[in-house]
Structure 1
Amino acid sequence: MKAALARRIDGRFHYGWIVVGVIFLVLLASAGIRATPSVMMVPLEHDFGWSRATISLAISVNLALYGLTGPFAAAAMQRFGIRPTVMVALLLLASGTALSSLMTAPWQMVLIWGVMVGGGTGVAAVTLAATVSNRWFHTHRGLAMGILTASSATGQMVFLPIMAAITENYGWRPVVLIVAAVAAIVLPLVAILVPERPGSVGLRPVGAPEDAPDVQLAHGNPLTAALSALRMAAGKRDFWLLFFSFFICGASTNGYIGTHFIAMCGDYGISEVKGAGILAAMGILDLIGTTASGWLSDRYNSRVLLFWYYGLRGLSLIYLPYAFGFDFFGIPLFALFYGLDWIATVPPTVRLTTDVFGKTMAPIVFGWIVAGHQLGAATAALVAGSLRATLGNYTMASMLSGGVCIIGAFMVLRIAPHAPKRPVGAKA
């Protein structure tokens, strides 16, 4: 079926864009599942009397496993293929989220939302986007990566307001059943429409020359491949600069704003539905910002792009505690700057990883860099929850998050410049 569809559309557009569309839906569903705990935080607090620090622990485990699964998932995709690896992850997500409707104790939330969902979303994550963009695209790779990365923001845009409204009217249990159903619906699309590589449907990657070799599945143990990639990468200073800058990225996005923003709005008298609506608006802006960032990373110096992204994000987070004090321009101004910048860092980071480590090793190495992102997210989720429980507000957490972003802005400028081959007509 995939080969027949590829022949039918040949000459109009490349089948790689259909693969991007399906993987976009996979990442969108995964993003909706990852966003669910932020909507559940206050209802769980009310239903079971769990503190935000307790709930943040489960979210922290989720975020950490989301990152640590990435390099092994990338190696599994190279060894077993994209389709079977992603289908297993979707099955895990659907079953795990459905089971969570029965939980009654904190350890169950840690097991289900921390371990099962964390591991599943770690496969359906930016490492998947990097693998697909590197495998299916020779040119327009940054644009494809930008579109796939933007699915995370789109997932929030689509799911958060709906989940918040359902939670407010019917409780949190129907929400987890809905996101379980979404994961189950996407699974057959992957089975039917996603080939393993361009050669499977008689094509070359987008923009690849006639003599470009086809991508083949790797041999050997994925665990060994992932650890070997880490040993190789760990000897390069650029890896650690990318790793710790992405640690800061995760701390200032998924870990802090993604986890605590709706609860923070509640501290200022803003309802969960309105707080989710603000996050959704930032999701729309990030869909624009991250797609544009992918286009820019095909053309301009990725180090300079990252400097501006981290710097502007840091300033917006330092401004955040004051934003609630302005009736009209406060939160909208924060949402504008932060939303456009939310995960715009991903395409330039993937570009730099590919430039440093090469197209073959880049997805696995990027998986380890994503592990840094999620360790940062896990740290911020736990620290922000603890600071809120201790101080009664999120002001200190906002200041710390903004400050480390400023540090990250200068850190990325120390990554050694590389001169990869760029598409014809692209600017240096």
Structure 2
Amino acid sequence: MATRRIHYGWIVAGVTFLTLLVSAGIRSTPGVLMVPLETQFGWERTATTFPLAINLALYGLCGPFAAALMEKYGIKRLMVLSLLLLAVGTGLSAWMQTTWEFTLLWGVIIGIGTGFTSNVLGAVVTNRWFRERRGLVIGILTASGATGQLVFLPLLAKLATDVNWQWTVWLTSIAALIGVVFALVFMREKPSDAGVLPYGQTEPQEEMAKPSVKNPFRVAFGGLKLGFRSKDFWLLAGSFFVCGLSTNGLIGTHLIPACMDHGIPEVTAASMLAVMGIFDLIGTTFSGWLSDRADSRRLLFWYYGLRGLSLVFLPYALDSNFLSMSVFVVFYGLDWIATVPPTVKLCNKAFGAQSGVVYGWVSASHQLGAATAAFGGGLLHTVLGSYTFVFVVAGVLCVTAAGFVLRIRKGKDVAVQQAM
């Protein structure tokens, strides 16, 4: 029999990339919707950012439970359910008229839908299908968030500006339905379903007996209990809180409105985020490659430290010329979520077979930080009239996180033996 030229794990990774791309594109949409909704309905900035804070919080808090639910019900079922929630939530939002409808659809329904297709999905798929190139694969899957911005944001901003904001949510709804089709056709649960071994594994290994998972909530909280006892967990969760605060919550939510405050058109601002996505795709993939070869703690030290300096520089760039803003876009883009591959690597080393669920809680901390910045940034903008103070504080927190990560134990590689 001829040997397959493409290992099926790469096809599964491709479907996962598409799912995460659609989810990321939908998560980035509120940055485009914020000003049009305020203009049409007369809402204040706090009214448009509060649902987004709920969205980001649920996105993170669903992660640990998503890992446990994947173990019990399967990755494919959860992917399809999540994408259907995204399709329904975005589609119905075209007819919303009040802030409570915005909160229900974009805060709760879409928050849960994106939460079940968070970075935890990428970590679970990578650990199940790959024995080699894990850092590279998790880097590529993490970079799907950047690619989602690249694909969606300029087009969504153009539709919101030239047509109306309803077209943006209809487009994202259609994209989610396309993702459902791909998941149904191509997704497989585990390598044996495709008649292959995990990528990089040369000999069959006896599957470890696993108890039936009757209560995913017990599994999820069991992972949290394990993490609570570890200093490494608190260092990882604390630094990842700052990561979420400084990326999804602050730049992802507020960069477009901040640009518009300084006279930069919405489409131009959205294009900046898209270009940032290009460089994030490069930076995060390269970070995954590096995490297979270098000390992940030192990588995180440089990522957080340089990100902090770039955020302190941002207010100057916004008040300066196009060249300064271009430097920020390139520099920050390369560092956007390059933190994920080394964080996953350190979590695997520290927690072994339980790393999937524990990383879910670390990822939850990331999104709680994002929720804090999404609402807090809007609140402070309302009070102070600008984002300058917010950007500087976020930069200082990033530099502080750079010091935290050096205190994580180096540890040794642990074989992640889990069915996730």
1:71 pairs, out of 64, 67, 77, with: 64
State the partner residue of 2:84. Answer: 91
Distance 1:412 1:144, change over 3 A: same
Task: Provide the rounded CA distance (Å) in 2 between the counterparts of 1:216 and 1:115.
Answer: 37
Tell me the alpha carbon deviations over residues 140-198 of structure 1, each in whole angstroms, 9 at most, x when there is no partner.
Answer: 00100000000000000110000000000111111101100100011011111111000
Q: CA deviation at 1:421?
A: 6.2
Mapped pair 1:316 → 2:296: no
The answer to whether the Cα contact below 8 Å between 1:58 and 1:114 also exists between their aligned partners in 2 is yes
Q: CA deviation at 1:219?
A: 2.6
State the partner residue of 2:288. Answer: 294
| Residue identity in the other structure for 1:232 | L
TM-score (norm 1): 0.95
State the partner residue of 2:242. Answer: 248
- In structure 1, stretches of 5+ residues that fail to align are 1-6, 423-428
State the partner residue of 2:371. Answer: 378
Task: Provide the rounded CA distance (Å) in 2 between the counterparts of 1:328 and 1:200.
Answer: 52
Which consecutive segments of 4 or more residues in structure 1 shift more than 4 A? 214-218
The answer to whether the Cα contact below 8 Å between 1:135 and 1:215 also exists between their aligned partners in 2 is no
2:194 pairs, out of 201, 204, 208, with: 201
Tell me the alpha carbon deviations over residues 108-161 of structure 1, each in whole angstroms, 9 at most, x when there is no partner.
Answer: 111110000000000111000000000001110010000000000000011000
The answer to whether the Cα contact below 8 Å between 1:164 and 1:273 also exists between their aligned partners in 2 is yes
Mapped pair 1:276 → 2:270: yes
1:164 pairs, out of 157, 176, 179, with: 157
Q: CA deviation at 1:215?
A: 7.5
Tell me the alpha carbon deviations over residues 323-360 of structure 1, each in whole angstroms, 9 at most, x when there is no partner.
Answer: 123324210111111000000000000000000000x3
Mapped pair 1:19 → 2:9: no
Instruction: Give identity over the alignment, percent.
Output: 51
State the partner residue of 1:183. Answer: 176
The answer to whether the Cα contact below 8 Å between 1:197 and 1:215 also exists between their aligned partners in 2 is no
Task: Provide the rounded CA distance (Å) in 1 between the counterparts of 2:323 and 2:55.
Answer: 34
Task: Provide the rounded CA distance (Å) in 2 between the counterparts of 1:294 and 1:212.
Answer: 26
State the partner residue of 1:231. Answer: 225
Mapped pair 1:410 → 2:403: yes
Task: Provide the rounded CA distance (Å) in 1 between the counterparts of 2:206 and 2:282.
Answer: 34
After TM superposition, the structure 1 = structure 2 runs for residues 316-355 of structure 1, keeping only pairs within 5 Å, are: 316-355=310-349
CA RMSD of aligned residues (A): 1.4
Task: Provide the rounded CA distance (Å) in 1 between the counterparts of 2:76 and 2:145.
Answer: 20
Task: Provide the rounded CA distance (Å) in 2 between the counterparts of 1:20 and 1:292.
Answer: 17
State the partner residue of 1:37. Answer: 30
1:265 pairs, out of 254, 259, 265, with: 259
Task: Provide the rounded CA distance (Å) in 2 between the counterparts of 1:115 and 1:212.
Answer: 42
Q: CA deviation at 1:361?
A: 1.4
Aligned partner of residue 319 in structure 2, secondary structure: coil
Aligned partner of residue 412 in structure 2, secondary structure: coil
Task: Provide the rounded CA distance (Å) in 2 between the counterparts of 1:178 and 1:298.
Answer: 37
Task: Provide the rounded CA distance (Å) in 2 between the counterparts of 1:325 and 1:376.
Answer: 27
State the partner residue of 2:47. Answer: 54
State the partner residue of 1:361. Answer: 354
Which segment drifts farther, 397-406 or 212-221?
Answer: 212-221
Task: Provide the rounded CA distance (Å) in 2 between the counterparts of 1:421 and 1:121.
Answer: 29
The answer to whether the Cα contact below 8 Å between 2:262 and 2:319 also exists between their aligned partners in 1 is no
Task: Provide the rounded CA distance (Å) in 2 between the counterparts of 1:13 and 1:264.
Answer: 45
